[in-house]
Amino acid sequence: MEPVNLPPGVQVIVRDWLNANHVLIADPDGTALIDSGYGAHAPRTLALLRAPHALGERRLDRLINTHCHSDHMGGNAAITLAYGSSISVPVDAAPLIERWDTRELLLDYADQHAERFEFAGTIAPGEVLKLGGMDWRALAAPGHDMTALVFYQPEHRVLVSGDALWERGFGVIEPVDRLADRLAAQRATLERIASLDIAVVVPGHGAPFTGCARALEHAFQRLASYEADPLKLARHCLKTFLVFALLARGGIARAKLPAYVGRVACYREYNERFFRLAPAALAELLVGELALAGIVAEHDGQLVTRHS
């Protein structure tokens, strides 16, 4: 693996798959944090921020979200309470936060949770943010989230990509609504990233990496497979939602899973659109594929993820 060199004052706190990574950017004049993790893990997030090699005793002036899904903005309320930080969200996400649209924010719809918060400002595509004494350009990155932004630092050639690009893929694209628009948006986002001169990518999940071209090649291949097979995309989405739920809950009893997928809205809606199975059959389909991939296991009747 090639060494990753980040600009002075930039630190990445790599988290597990329930929490987005935190990007801490600091200089003598102030500190900013990009993305706050999952709400239930806020005490751990605050402990990581207060570590001597992170913020230590310094204040946190600003909190910025790449997009407003629970694993990226779930810690906003707790961090603001602890530090008094001002929150900035993508401009197109602002109406969703103002009305607390739990469907579009993928909260109760997917059995995810976040504490409501107030934001102080918005960030528009094309805006330049001064963070850590450097200029970071906000770029539109719709697809996984149609309101998302990424942040690019041209001198050091660093991209904070959120869920628009990972080393092995990107965040889920929902197939139940405006699928053609979402797929086209994700393709445009990848093409926009490909046009940049990038040395290091700081993804929302996984370690920072070099080799952006390789990641983009893999992402385009994955996107093409979803464009060709929406049913494959639907299975991927539901498996992702289920893994998230297992991580958040610490596991789910296998005997209770049919009732769970019959109750939680995302499984009901996807099932009606794509699968048309009894809840027990849908549950077995998802668990079977996840177990075959080595992602989940069963212990004493309890389904758990190997990410735990």
One-letter-per-residue 3-state SS of 162-173: ECCCECCECCCC
Contact 184, 220 (CB under 8 A): no
Cβ within 8 Å of residue 81, ≥6 positions away = none
Q: How many CA atoms lie within 13 A of 263 on its CB side?
A: 7
Instruction: Report the share of the chain in percent with pLDDT over 70.
Output: 99
Q: How far is residue 156's CA from residue 203's CA, in Å, rounded to a whole number?
A: 16
Contact 144, 104 (CB under 8 A): no
243-290 per-position pLDDT tens digit: 999 999 999 999 999 999 999 999 999 999 999 999 999 999 999 999
SS3 260: helix
Q: What is the pLDDT of residue 81?
A: 97
DSSP letter (8 states) at residue 6: P
157-174 per-position pLDDT tens digit: 999 999 999 999 999 999
52-76 per-position pLDDT tens digit: 999 999 999 999 999 999 999 999 9
Quickly state the pLDDT bin for 198 (edges 50, 70, 90).
Answer: very high
Instruction: Report the share of the chain in percent with pLDDT over 90.
Output: 95
Contact 40, 74 (CB under 8 A): yes
Tell me the residue type at 136. W
Residue 3, pLDDT > 80, answer no
Q: What is the pLDDT of residue 28?
A: 85
**Closest CA relative to residue 148, chosen from 171, 130, 128:** 171
Q: What are φ and ψ of residue 122, in 5° steps? A: -125, 160
List the 134-140 sheet strands across, edge first.
Answer: 128-131, 134-140, 149-153, 158-162, 200-203
Q: What is the pLDDT of residue 1?
A: 52
Superfamily of the domain at 10-228: Ribonuclease Z/Hydroxyacylglutathione hydrolase-like (3.60.15.10)
Residue 308, pLDDT > 50, answer no
